[in-house]
Amino acid sequence: MFQHSIRLLWLLPAIALGVFWLRQYATPAGVSPEVWKRLSRESRPGRMRTVAFLRWAALLCWILAAAGPRWGMERIRVERTSYDIVFAVDCSRSMLAEDLPPSRKLAARQELTELMRRLEGNRFGLVGFAEDAFVFCPLTRDSGAATLFLEQLQENSFPRQGTNLSKALQTAASLFPGKSTLGARVIVLLSDGEDRHTHPVEVAKQLAASNIIVYTVALGSPQGAPIPLEDGTHLKDSKGETVSTKADEKTLTEIALTTHGKPFRLANASDHLDGLVQAIQEQDRRRLEQELSSRQRHQYAWFVLLGLVLLGLAQLLLPRVKEKA
């Protein structure tokens, strides 16, 4: 109810002062004790006690006003400058490769958690994809919730394996509001880029036309690495040969540049995404996002006004000194 409750402690000395006022009537400045004694006899009984009480009540009102009383709800329109950022994370089996320790999947998760921490205050969305793409978290400012959903990204959540970058980009773009004027819209695509069946660059051109910027993060080394399985062996192809997965930086770079974004890479443990944070923060934030918010109404003005009224009444009740002719 009070915005600054600590200021209510001022009531303690105010109460003590009120007790003093009600017991002792000090002679006003500029009035001699003899004149004040005569005025006190001529005034109606209890008038000066009433004056003291009104002054004390006015003081209490102003202390309550300083404490910031609030009640009743009001709806206000809040304008924010922010980015809408959707992270599209590759969850295909190739993300289990360990060329990026401890694995591509875990390294990507660690970097994403740090990205959300450093970009806190913006809205985050989360898409996981393999051959299909699914929304794991719609746009939200709750970075803690987005981080929790990040833990749910597992390769066994996708029965159809593969890497469909086109579907990932389309699903990520579907999370943005329809109006392109509401803040910068960014997709961060984290993948090894091994999509040999779709045409993600064509989708990137469509996103560029909608003023959506894509930053890509290539996961893994160009040399490649085998894909470990739960039984300790490695994934093999139909010929019985060990499958090696490599980061396709060429495709990811083309996607980023097509949308006026930038490509980045995580190829070893020393790589981090500081440049990605800086690139996002350099985007134009002039466009405003508007939303309705509820808050309690400030009511301090009533207490200020009541205090002035009480003080005015106290002044009117003061006896007047009659000038001698």
**Global model pTM greater than 0.85:** no
Return the bridge partners of 227, or none. none
Q: Which CATH architecture has domain 79-289?
A: 3-Layer(aba) Sandwich (3.40)
Question: What is the spatial distance between Cα 88 and Cα 75, in angstroms, rounded to a whole number?
Answer: 35
Question: What is the spatial distance between Cα 272 and Cα 184, in angstroms, rounded to a whole number?
Answer: 23
> Residue 173 phi/psi, 5° resolution?
-65, -30
Summarised one tens digit per residue, pLDDT across range 180-201 is 555 678 999 999 888 778 899 9
Summarised one tens digit per residue, pLDDT across range 116-172 is 998 888 889 999 998 999 999 999 988 888 888 888 887 777 878 888 999 999 999
Summarised one tens digit per residue, pLDDT across range 106-115 is 888 998 999 9
The whole-number pLDDT of residue 172 equals 96
Amino acid at 24: Q
Sorted by where each begins, the domain ranges of the chain are: 5-69+299-317, 79-289
Position 33 pLDDT exceeds 70: no
Return the bridge partners of 115, or none. none
Give percent above pLDDT 70 in the chain. Answer: 80
Concatenate the DSSP letters of all residues of 258-282 into one string.
Answer: HTT--EEEE-STT---HHHHHHHHT
Q: Supply the mean pLDDT for the chain.
A: 80
Element (H, E) at 240: none
